[in-house]
A = this chain, B = another copy of it.
Amino acid sequence: MYVVKSPLPEPDLKTVSGALQGALVDLVDLALVGKQIHWNIVGPRFRSVHLQLDEVVDTARTHSDTVAERAAALGVPPDGRASTVASDSGIDAVAAGWIRDTDAVGVLVDALGAVITRMRERVRATADADPVSQDLLIGITADLEKHHWMFQAEHA
């Protein structure tokens, strides 16, 4: 059953769908990691980082929806199931249990950094194949880099 006709020729489609599927997995995991730390953080900066993490989660959820619907719009069924996210995410595993605020900020600096590196590769890879998808990925990168700056500034 191949229901949605793609506006892209086959080789371009392969490139773009790979980029979108990768972005989807990273963003879903970023939302899960963000919530995990939102719930487990402790320390004097608890409230401030607790609130800030929900903004990361909002960004990640909104963009994962955009990216998945973009894939579907190109005729490629997106895969955001828990097992796929658990195996393919570019974010390092987070330890279970309470986490101190200073460590929590460090985890986010690393997680965002890892996702941004991969996103910039996706921006380059999709430039010729589909400027529409590239434009979405550029916007996502800008948002992630802004969050990254803020967590780095707090980590100074």
Interface residues of A (CB under 8 A from B): 1-5, 7, 28-29, 32-33, 35-36, 39-52, 64-65, 68-75, 77-86, 89, 93-94, 96-98, 100, 102, 105, 113, 116-117, 120, 123, 127, 131-132, 134-136, 138-139, 141-142, 145-146, 148-150, 152-156
CA distance A1 to B152 in the complex (A): 13
Q: Which of B82, B113, B132 contacts A86 (CB 8 A)?
A: B82
A interface secondary structure, majority:
helix
Residues on B with beta carbons closer than 8 Å to the beta carbon of A68: 35, 39
Q: Report the minimal beta-carbon distance from A93 to chain B, rounded to whole angstroms.
A: 7
Residues on B with beta carbons closer than 8 Å to the beta carbon of A134: 131
CA distance A48 to B154 in the complex (A): 10
CA distance A117 to B7 in the complex (A): 8
